[in-house]
Amino acid sequence: MIISPQNKVLIQGIFEPSGMTYAPLMRAYGTQVVAGVSIGWGDSNLKGIPTFNLVDEAIAAVGAIDTTIIFVPPYSVLDAALEAIVAGIRQIIIVTEGVPPLDMVRLLREAEATETMVVGPNSPGIIIPGEILLGTHPASFYTPGTVGIISRNGTLTYEVAMQLSAAGLGQSISVCIGSDAVIGSSFPQWLQILEEDDRTEAIVLVGEIGGDSEETAAHYIAEAIDKPVIAYIAGLNVPRGRRIGHAGAIIDSYILELGPDIGTADSKINAFRRAKIPVADRPSQVPELVKKKLRQPARKT
C-alpha cells in the first residue's frame, strides 16, 4: 500500500452524515480529497469538493484515484467497493461498521484477484501524522515521529497515540485494521509494511479479545519481524465462561501451540510473552515500554 500526501482520494458516501463530517476535516488536514460520490448528489459539491453519482463520473472529471474511503450504509458497502475496484482504485478504506460477513468474503476475493488493499470495515482508517489523514482519526492526538501503531480498536488507537505524543514519542503511521467479523488487511500484512518502512523504528500493536488475530500476529513477529514491537491487549477483565472464536481458529491454536483458550485476553497476552514481546498492562504504560525497547540493541537479521 502506497500512502503519501500526493494520493488522490475519493469519498464514497460523501453525503452520509459521517462523510459530510469527515471529508472536510480530511481536506483541512492536507489530504487531497478530489471528489465525492453519493447517488442523487451529482453535479453538486460539499464545501468545495465536487460530487458525482458514480465513481466513473468522478474519475472522468478529476483523473485517476489512488484511495477511496467508504462511508455508505452496511448493505451498500459491497456495491461501492466493487464499483471502485472496477474503476481501477486499488486502496480501499471502509469506515462503515456492520458489513455483512458474506459481502466481505466476496469483496476480499475480488480484492485478492485485483491486488487491491482493503482496510476495515469498522475502521477509522489511516493517518500519517502531519502528512495525510484517510478516515476519522482525531488528528490532534497525533504527532509526527517514528513509532508505528497497528490496531483492531479505533478508540484505543487514539488513546495509545495520545499517550505516546504526551511522552514525546511521535508516530510514523497509525492504522486500524477494523473490528468487524470479517476484515480486509491483517496484522501480519501491516507488520511487514512497517518492518520495511524506513521511518518506523518501533511498532505498537493494539489488540482486543475475540478471534485469533493477535495470537497469529505474535507468531509472525517472532518469525519475521526484527524491529521492536510492544503490545497492548484490551479485555483482560471480561468475564470468562464461553469460548470466543471459531473452529478454524481453535485448530490453528493447537498447530501454532497457542493454547486451547484462543480468543481470550490471557491467550493473546501469553502468545506475545512466549514470543518475548513486552505487553503493557494499560495504555499509559506503552510509552515506557517503547522507550525501553528503543534503548536496547537492535535484533540481528
Neighbours of 283 (CB within 10 A): 19
With beta carbons less than 8 A apart as the criterion, state whether 174 and 137 touch.
yes
Range list of β-strands (E), the chain: 8-12, 32-37, 44-46, 49-52, 67-70, 91-94, 117-119, 125-128, 132-135, 144-151, 171-176, 202-208, 229-234, 279-280
Q: Which of 246, 261, 266, 274 is catalytic?
A: 246
With beta carbons less than 8 A apart as the criterion, state whether 49 and 23 touch.
yes
3-state SS class at 125: strand
Q: How far is CA 273 from the centre of its chain?
A: 24
Report how far apart, in Å, the C-alpha atoms of 264 and of each of 27, 123, 184, 261 are: 40, 22, 22, 6
Under DSSP, the state recorded for 76 is G
> How far apart, in whole angstroms, are the C-alpha atoms of residue 281 and residue 285?
7
> How far apart, in whole angstroms, are the C-alpha atoms of residue 136 and residue 245?
28
Closest of 182, 151, 126, 143 to residue 9, by C-alpha: 126
Is 219 assigned a catalytic role?
Answer: no
Neighbours of 168 (CB within 10 A): 10
Report how far apart, in Å, the C-alpha atoms of 1 and of each of 66, 180, 226, 276, 299 are: 10, 21, 20, 29, 26
Q: Catalytic residue numbers? A: 246
